[in-house]
Amino acid sequence: MIGYVTIGALDSEVSGKFYDAVLSTIGLTRLMTDGKWIGWGVKGSNKCDIYVCPPFDGKPASAGNGIMIALRTKTQDEVRAAHATALKNGGMDEGAPGPRPADSKDYFGAYMRDPTGNKICIFWKP
């Protein structure tokens, strides 16, 4: 089981605004900010599930080739909302919302990249 996810950012403030918007569509809210680190989790909890920050080694953040973070939603509408919100907030499209494969009844997802180029997926699965 995953405890939390850390996403490297070239600019924490820019990425923070992107993730504020996108993660709010799936029920997560910003819980902490310390100038470099920003964390999101379920409102009312003390537990951050996702963090954005510059890399610890001080080198510029870069998107990992083949790395993707997939976030599960409760509905297909949340998938659509997250994708649309990502594109309105500096994200790049990597695959419009829809079933995967095209005839699937068991998977509905959308793919995007954040302002640093990290690939994320928002998906619904019954």
CATH number at 12 reads: 3.10.180.10
What pLDDT does residue 35 have? 82
Going residue by residue through the chain, which has 126 residues, state the pLDDT in tens, using 9 for 90 and above: 688 999 999 999 999 999 999 999 999 999 999 988 999 999 999 899 999 999 999 999 988 888 999 999 999 999 999 999 999 999 999 999 999 998 999 999 999 999 999 999 999 999
Q: How far apart are CA 70 and CA 35, in angstroms?
A: 26
Domain holding 9, by residue range, is 5-57+68-124
Domain-located, residue 38: yes
CA gap 104, 86 in Å, rounded: 24
The count of domains in the chain is 1
Show Cβ contacts of residue 12 under 8 Å, excluding neighbours closer than 6 positions. 35, 36, 37, 38, 52, 53, 54
**Residue 112 within a domain:** yes
Q: Assess if residue 63 is contained within a domain.
A: no
